[in-house]
Amino acid sequence: MTTELLPAQSAGTFALGGDLTINRLGYGTMQLTGDGVWGPPDDQDGAIAVLKRAIELGVNFFDTADSYGPAVAEPLIAKALKPYPDDLVIATKAGLTRSGPNVWPPVGRPEYLRQQTEMSLRWLGVERIDLMQLHRVDEKVPLEDQVGEFKKLQDEGKIRHIGLSEVSVDQLKQAQKVAEIVSVQNLYNLTNRSSEELVDYATEQGIAFIPWFPLATGGLTGADSPLTELAEKKNATPAQLALAWLLKRSPVMLPIPGTKSVAHLEDNLLGAGIELSDAEFDELSNIQK
């Protein structure tokens, strides 16, 4: 007797850090906050419904950050999902502070990163963070000091794995001299491939690549999407094709499409089950920015 896969399970799995097996299509929580990623959601019950539905559809990798709100997305996850399923992996970030909507100054001072890690532990209601990511490199602080503080927290048992966000290959290599880096998270999608070199290096190293804005903030999903024609042929939506392309691009790719709509969530996750031929992948790859 075969068990039918849940939508997110159709994407296959990845062993994050070698020991946390997750389904490759996850969920990003940034859009659950207010406008400008500032303040609480307009509809808290709706936000909680999206988080619960993601679990029902097989999502077991959630990406968040202390700065989403700030201090809104992490408590929402705890409110919606505790007690957490045994296989749930939560990735969060520290290294940006907030002074208003759409304002994100980087702060990489070790004492700040430690403080925010302690706050994330409290907001999420966990004893150890599965994946803590440096949200941005603070150019005013040596990178080895920023990663080094996370390494100390890891040695203390407060962080399981360490990741980076918005970095170059050279910065990743520099960080690897300080600690084991299991993931990188850069802007990357079908029409913005500025991180191509990092995708290739991460693939070679077996490091997870988490593309943020995987749907180009809706730019790939509208009525004038360049994916519409092929989507119709595949009986799929442009969003599903964009996610299928990412999943085929590399076995270390972990897309985290975010939405505040249960309907959009359900639609996005069906992208995990779409299989692209090599010719279809190439056709999509030829769509330029």
Model pLDDT, residue 1 = 45
For 139, the domain range is: 20-185
Within a domain: residue 39? yes
Within a domain: residue 51? yes
> Which residues, in sequence order, are CB contacts of 41 under 8 Å at separation 6+?
32, 33, 34, 47, 72, 76, 260
Model pLDDT, residue 244 = 95
Within a domain: residue 194? no
Within a domain: residue 113? yes
What is 100-119 written as a DSSP string? Answer: STT---B---HHHHHHHHHH
pTM score: 0.95
Within a domain: residue 123? yes
Give the C-alpha separation, 259 to 140, whole Å.
Answer: 34
- The catalytic residue positions are 68
Spell out the alpha helix ranges (H) of the chain. 44-56, 73-81, 110-124, 143-155, 169-176, 196-205, 228-233, 238-249, 262-269, 278-285
Within a domain: residue 240? no
Total structural domains within the chain: 1
Model pLDDT, residue 228 = 83
Model pLDDT, residue 62 = 98
- Count of other CB atoms within 10 angstroms of residue 47: 23
pLDDT in tens, the chain (289 residues): 456 789 999 999 999 999 999 999 999 999 999 999 999 999 999 999 999 999 999 999 999 999 999 999 999 999 999 999 999 999 999 999 999 999 999 999 999 999 999 999 999 999 999 999 999 999 999 999 999 999 999 999 999 999 999 999 999 999 999 999 999 999 999 989 999 999 999 999 999 999 998 887 666 766 667 788 888 888 988 889 999 999 999 999 999 999 999 999 999 999 999 999 999 999 999 886 5
Give the C-alpha separation, 48 to 60, whole Å.
Answer: 16
> What CATH number did the domain enclosing 127 receive?
3.20.20.100
Within a domain: residue 148? yes
Within a domain: residue 120? yes
